[in-house]
Structure 1
Amino acid sequence: MTNKFLLKEFGDRIKQLRLEKGISQEKLSFLTGFHRTYIGMIERGERNISLTNMAIFAKIFEVNLSELLDFESINPNHSFSDYELKSE
C-alpha cells in the first residue's frame, strides 16, 4: 500500500472524529489554529502532517495519539500494521 492511501486513511479518521464531536471544519479551524483549507486537505489525504499537528488534533478530539491512528474504527479491515511505508 502506498503512503497516499495511508494519508487518506488518516484524513478519514480526522473527519470521523470531527463529525463525532459534531463540529464543522470551520470550528475545527478555530480550535486548532489551522486554516480551514488545510483541514480539508488533511481530510482528503492531500497533506502529510507533522507529529506536532497530530498532537494538536489529539488534544482537540480528547484522544491519545494511538487512538488518532486507529484506522480500524473507520474500516475494520485496515489497521496501522497493514501499511507498507515507502519513501517518496
Structure 2
Amino acid sequence: MIGKEAGITALAPRDAAPPPAPEGLAHPGLHAAADFALSEATRAALTEAVPASTRGAYAADMAAFTAWCAGQGRTALPATAETVTE
C-alpha cells in the first residue's frame, strides 16, 4: 500500500515564497550578537552529552546528505521539507 492507505501523509506543495510574518512578530535588529552565542561551558556540556561515536555518525550522515543535495541541485542547509522528504 502506498499513501494514505498505508497511513502515510504526503506533504502538500507550498508557495515559492513563505508568507510574511504576522504583524508584530518581525523585529529586524532585535537580537544582539550575544543572543546567538554559547559559552565555552555550555559548548563543553553539549559535547560531553553526545558520545563521540554518535557525533561521528551524525557527521557522516550530514556529509552524505550534503553530497546528495549537491548532486540533485538542492540546498542542504537550510533544507526545505521537500528536500528532507526526498
1 or 2 for the larger relative contact order (CA 8 Å, sep ≥6)? 1
Fold shared by both chains (TM-score > 0.5): no
TM-score by length of 2: 0.32
TM-score by length of 1: 0.32
Normalized per residue, which structure has more helix?
Answer: 1
